[in-house]
Structure 1
């Protein structure tokens, strides 16, 4: 399954990961420094829980770190994939409430991770628009540039999941 759409004209992130709110981080698998040099974003033991929506060998986390992997595409999601996003967001929110540090990551740390982090913030009581604005301020203005994902959040994932299930052949 292809999980990454190539070259949307979006610049690489300028950090491997960013803290969106206390204990909740968002990132990717690569980043570019101020000199324009590319780097792998390799996770060690910096976080208590890592949620990966894209994976690449050698990018961690350390085997002692709890790691949830649910690869999914950066395009319209199935009802089942939206359900997985909801579960991962609940798990992230519960971990943050318990005082754990959580990293949610995808390829660049913009869309898939943004969807899960925004939903986790909503689970923590944030308004949708505030969650999206905060992610764009703290991670990058390029975050959630997949408008479909932003529409899922605006509509609500329960409704988005229901609507996606209507497109599924019987």
Structure 2
């Protein structure tokens, strides 16, 4: 059996993936999640976790937020950690700027998942046509939903409705295509 192991910055990323992966992965792929408590915890402990992973037939995916950092520098740092751990071919994906960009890229999913009205029609507003450019997507989600959105429960509610093929977030699309390429 083949396994994909996701190393994640935060619990909300796990919730998002659980709502999406069953729609793109074949049943014979097993998924495991290693959830860290923030990006510093991820970077500090990733090497140890990767080195300790001895289960055969595993592919690894690391996902973290860009926040205010430089995507290329973050990806290079994570790639160096993987190399030092002796793991090659690790898929590294950065959410630009935060995971909430994925949700802002599919306002129909936000509307359905949070049972709100009138949000989907805002997708054609300039800022929601390219949500990866927003510097604080989580703040935008709170405003858009009148503070109904919560990072973990909101991710759990929205993710099952995220469109796999038509999200306006380029970083979401890059994550999905990378996972599809793994299989």
TM-score for both structures, normalised by structure 1: 0.31
The structure carrying a bigger helix percent of its residues is 2
Q: Given the two structures, how large is their TM-score scaled by the length of structure 2?
A: 0.29
Query: Between Structure 1 and Structure 2, whose CA radius of gyration is higher?
Result: 2
